[in-house]
């Protein structure tokens, strides 16, 4: 392998042919872990080489190719062509259930729109975190509605077309009403037998049961 | 270097002899087992391993073992085993074949030993050729600056309409909210309904509303009523199938009515 | 980045032009230090792409360049041209010095694969130390192959893609001198005539070994 007959390379006085220098720069840039400066190239190449010129022609050679010779500070490196960057990404999509806080906030917006943050908090009984609202905005399930003409002119939230599409609703008015919820067995007005026996730890319990239940109805 | 230039001290044996002697005297650990030693000895015959004189080799090895013993070199068991085997082989090669005795001939055994030596030699040469190849990280190189494969984790959040409804229901009934669970004691099974109706259909000479077959106490509470109605209806269909019952519904959403099948013998 | 106007890429039905596919393969192979299989290439390229064909022209394009498209088993990678190794002293990675026993064991596995420990010992005439095998396993040059269907179901050893990559071999068939060794019968599992007298299962062993070895030559 190393017995190629590139006479110029071994010569003490003659620098290698430019095509050969270009190969060298190509190999060095490829194999080196960091971008390489012209000086470093020169240090590594045979005496008399002109790495700057070799770089120019190498750069030209890679024009329009899948990788490019790019300048990084005062050094040079190979980089994937920008338009092919998407090939270097492997997208793993993970579907997660919306958190309970997000579901409840979303439900309140859907049932009460347009609704202000203060109103949402009043109904939920707890503060609505910025993250929850941001998440719903990002999902494009809610958007800002008109400002309320009350002191402070608070913004309101409404659901979006994307929300309606996702839930298969023609309009927010098609959301099942309380009566429907009751008929569906989702509302049960009798006092909780658990509460009656005096046990109080049911919040977590209820959450779990709720999750379990939704599993029951999915698909 | 300097030592090389010094005149050889007067010795009764030649340099070659001395080197051969050293090769033998070398502690046995220097060889990787008897086969390695044999291969080394075979090389001194300076012939193709296929043409090697196994007899000469056996003699050489036995001489080595003898000498080693006199030099009190600890000989590993496998060297002695090999010596015993070679002594056996030697006798087979020297004596005329015994027609009474079956098993491989001395020549076959010798050929196999020669094969083993040749194979070991070939593998050593192959190993040398392999290591002489251009190697990655020494003669040729992989990409030094690999670009990280970006593993973008895209999380998609989702919710169903049911999640939404449950969420809302939870809020609206916060105080009296009770998680929905399948309580078995609120479920009227078809088996229960069948049993109940089998006892009752005898009295159904005329068309009767199905609701009158519902178990007592199951009509008030909605969930229980639904379960009892469903079970009773399913049980009715089963009884119709069995020929005990007739069923009819006058109109869409009209009450469902049941009647005992008139049997011929009655 | 992604707003280039390469219409074919975004099309649902038309695969990208071959020149574009070649760029993609170039970018993917350039980006990684490890060989990439044709299947992996296909998975990352737009639907309908033909990475195998793109590889052919890419390989031709890099002929004689400072970096080469090389085949490693069923995968492909860019590697610097071997004649330029001398420029790369700085990149030389000190490989652990292999003992003579390890080198021979490696060669025996490569030429005889799949091969059992007992067979290696038979060829070398000495026991194979656990450390030797462990070292080769650790270097990822050998791995366990299928168990031999003989009494005791011994494990076999085969060489890995990393082995091929390290020694610049396209496949195990390209091992130096393999054809000669085979022709000379030196890769046969020839049982000792002594062993053959009594034991029968050696026959099966020999048969299996013969089969195993022929696997080496299948595709």
Q: Encode pLDDT of A84-134 as tens digits.
A: 888 887 767 777 888 888 999 999 998 888 899 988 988 888 888 888 999
Task: Mark which residues 33-72 of B lie under 8 Å from C by CB.
Answer: 33-36
* pLDDT for the residue numbered A91: 66
For A146, phi and psi rounded to 5 degrees? -70, 155
Position C212 confidence tier, pLDDT thresholds 50, 70, 90: very low
- Taking alpha carbons only, the member of B56, B67, B82 closest to residue B26 is B67
- Count of A–C CB contacts within 8 Å? 86
Q: Encode pLDDT of B84-123 as tens digits.
A: 889 888 888 888 777 777 777 888 888 889 999 999 999 9
Whether residue A112 sits in one domain with residue A202: yes
Average pLDDT over residues B226-242: 87
Mean pLDDT of chain B: 77
pTM: 0.59
Q: Is B47 exposed, middle or buried (0-12, 13-18, 19+ CB in 10 A)?
A: exposed
Q: B169 in contact with A at a CB cutoff of 8 Å?
A: yes
CA distance C65 to A62: 12
Q: Is A172 exposed, middle or buried (0-12, 13-18, 19+ CB in 10 A)?
A: middle
For residue B8, what is the DSSP state?
P
* Interface mutation vs chain B, best among C193, C196, C197, C209, most B CBs within 10 Å: C193
Average pLDDT over residues A130-156: 89
Q: Does the residue C39 lie in any domain? A: yes
Q: With CB atoms and an 8 Å threshold, state whether A27 touches C2.
A: no
CA distance C131 to B193: 74
Nearest CA in chain A to B141: A31
More confident residue, B150 or C3: B150
Whether residue C207 sits in one domain with residue C104: yes
For residue B161, what is the DSSP state?
H
- Taking alpha carbons only, the member of C97, C101, C64 closest to residue C83 is C64
Position B259 confidence tier, pLDDT thresholds 50, 70, 90: confident
Position A36 confidence tier, pLDDT thresholds 50, 70, 90: very high
Whether residue C162 sits in one domain with residue C109: yes
CA distance B155 to A138: 12
* A47, pLDDT greater than 80: yes
Whether residue A25 sits in one domain with residue A122: no
Place of tokens 């095998």: C133
* pLDDT for the residue numbered A82: 86
Q: Does the residue C106 lie in any domain? A: yes
Q: Encode pLDDT of B174-195 as tens digits.
A: 654 444 445 566 778 888 888 8
Question: In this structure, are residues A192 and A200 in contact, taking their beta carbons and an 8 Å threshold?
Answer: no
Q: Does the residue C174 lie in any domain? A: yes
Single out the residue in C34, C62, C91 at which a domain terminates.
Answer: C91
Q: Domains of chain B, with CATH numbers?
A: 23-96+105-129 (no CATH), 190-260 (1.10.10.580)
Residue A71: CATH number of its domain: 1.10.10.10
* Interface mutation vs chain B, best among A100, A186, A208, most B CBs within 10 Å: A186
Residue-wise over C93-108: b if at least 16 C-beta within 10 A, else e? eeeeebeebbbbbbbb
Whether residue A62 sits in one domain with residue A125: no
Q: Is C112 exposed, middle or buried (0-12, 13-18, 19+ CB in 10 A)?
A: buried
CA distance C128 to C109: 12
What are A80's two structure tokens? 């994937």
* pLDDT for the residue numbered C76: 96
Single out the residue in A67, A91, A115 at which a domain terminates.
Answer: A91
Whether residue A195 sits in one domain with residue A157: yes
Whether residue C205 sits in one domain with residue C108: yes
More confident residue, A203 or C187: C187
> What angle (nearest 5°) sits at the alpha carbon of residue A205, between those of residues A201 and A209?
160
More confident residue, B15 or A137: A137
Q: Encode pLDDT of C49-104 as tens digits.
A: 999 999 999 999 999 999 999 999 999 999 999 999 888 877 777 777 888 899 99
Q: Encode pLDDT of C1-50 as tens digits.
A: 444 444 444 445 678 899 999 999 999 999 888 999 999 999 889 989 99
Tell me what ipTM this predicted complex has.
0.63
* B262, pLDDT greater than 50: yes
More confident residue, A155 or A166: A155
* C208, pLDDT greater than 80: no
Of the candidates A33, A84, A90, the beta carbon closest to that of C24 is on: A84
Beta strand spans in A38-82 (E): 67-72, 75-80
Chain C positions touching B143 (Cβ under 8 A) are 30-33, 78
Nearest CA in chain B to C172: B130
Average pLDDT over residues B234-242: 88
Question: In this structure, are residues A42 and C87 in contact, taking their beta carbons and an 8 Å threshold?
Answer: no
Task: Mark which residues 130-149 of A lie under 8 Å from B by CB.
Answer: 135, 139
Single out the residue in C62, C91, C120 at which a domain terminates.
Answer: C91
* pLDDT for the residue numbered B80: 85
* pLDDT for the residue numbered C219: 38
Q: Among the residues of chain B, which ranges form H helices?
A: 2-5, 15-25, 33-43, 54-70, 77-94, 106-132, 161-172, 190-200, 222-241
Mean pLDDT of chain A: 77
For A75, the domain range is 18-91
Q: With CB atoms and an 8 Å threshold, state whether B145 touches A33.
A: yes
Angstrom distances, CA of residue B144 to CA of A25, A37, A125, B141? 14, 15, 57, 8
Q: C83 in contact with A at a CB cutoff of 8 Å?
A: yes
What are A14's two structure tokens? 């003659």
* B166, pLDDT greater than 90: no
Q: Which of A55-59, B54-58, C87-91, C127-131 has the lowest mean pLDDT?
A: C87-91
* pLDDT for the residue numbered B222: 79
* A13, pLDDT greater than 60: yes
Whether residue A142 sits in one domain with residue A115: yes
* C210, pLDDT greater than 50: no
Q: Which of A182-196, B80-94, B130-144, C104-118 has the lowest mean pLDDT?
A: A182-196
Question: In this structure, are residues A79 and A67 in contact, taking their beta carbons and an 8 Å threshold?
Answer: yes
* pLDDT for the residue numbered B16: 63
Q: With CB atoms and an 8 Å threshold, state whether A80 touches C6.
A: no
Chain C positions touching B125 (Cβ under 8 A) are 177
What are A212's two structure tokens? 């379990």
Q: Does the residue A163 lie in any domain? A: yes
Q: How many domains does chain C have?
A: 2
Mean pLDDT of chain C: 82
* pLDDT for the residue numbered B19: 57
């Amino acid at each position: 392998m190393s017995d190629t007959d590139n006479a110029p390379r071994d010569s003490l006085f003659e620098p290698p042919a430019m095509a050969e220098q270009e190969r060298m720069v190509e190999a060095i840039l490829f194999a080196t872990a960091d971008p390489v400066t012209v000086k470093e190239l020169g240090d590594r190449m045979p005496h008399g080489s002109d790495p700057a010129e070799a770089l120019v022609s190498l750069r030209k050679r890679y024009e329009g190719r899948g990788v490019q010779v790019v300048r990084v500070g005062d050094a040079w490196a190979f980089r994937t062509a920008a338009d092919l960057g998407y090939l270097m990404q492997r997208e793993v999509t993970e579907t997660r259930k919306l958190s309970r806080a997000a579901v409840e906030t979303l439900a309140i917006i859907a049932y009460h729109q347009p609704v202000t943050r203060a109103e949402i908090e009043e109904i939920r009984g707890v503060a609505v975190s910025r993250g929850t609202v941001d998440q719903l905005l990002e999902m494009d399930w809610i958007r800002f509605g008109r400002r309320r003409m009350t002191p402070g002119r608070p913004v309101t939230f409404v659901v979006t077309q994307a929300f309606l599409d996702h839930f298969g609703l023609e309009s927010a008015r098609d959301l099942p009403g309380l009566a429907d919820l009751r008929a569906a067995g989702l509302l049960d007005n009798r006092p909780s037998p658990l509460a009656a026996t005096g046990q109080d730890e049911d919040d977590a319990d209820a959450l779990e049961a709720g999750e379990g239940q939704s599993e029951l109805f999915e698909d | 270097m300097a030592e090389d230039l010094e005149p050889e001290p007067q010795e009764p044996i030649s340099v070659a002899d001395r080197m051969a002697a050293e090769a033998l005297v070398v502690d046995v650990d220097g060889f990787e087992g008897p086969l390695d030693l044999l291969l080394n000895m075979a090389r001194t015959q300076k012939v193709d391993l296929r043409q090697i004189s196994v007899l000469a080799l056996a003699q050489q090895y036995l001489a080595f073992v003898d000498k080693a013993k006199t030099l009190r070199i600890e000989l590993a068991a496998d060297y002695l085993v090999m010596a015993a085997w070679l002594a056996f082989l030697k006798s087979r090669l020297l004596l005329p074949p015994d027609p009474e005795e079956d098993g491989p001939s001395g020549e076959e055994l010798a050929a196999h030993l020669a094969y083993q030596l040749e194979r070991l030699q070939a593998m050593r040469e192959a190993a040398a050729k392999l290591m002489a190849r251009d190697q990655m990280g020494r003669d040729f190189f992989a990409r030094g600056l690999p670009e990280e494969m970006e593993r973008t984790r895209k999380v998609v959040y989702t919710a169903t309409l049911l999640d939404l409804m449950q969420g809302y229901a939870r809020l609206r009934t916060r105080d009296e909210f009770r998680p929905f669970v399948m309580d078995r004691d609120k479920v009227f099974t078809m088996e229960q309904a069948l049993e109940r109706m089998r006892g009752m259909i005898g009295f159904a000479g005329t068309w009767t509303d199905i609701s009158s077959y519902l178990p007592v106490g199951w009509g008030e509470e909605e969930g229980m009523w639904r379960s009892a109605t469903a079970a009773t209806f399913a049980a009715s269909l089963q009884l119709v199938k069995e020929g005990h019952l007739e069923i009819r519904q006058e109109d869409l959403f009209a009450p469902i009515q049941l009647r005992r099948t008139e049997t011929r013998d009655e």
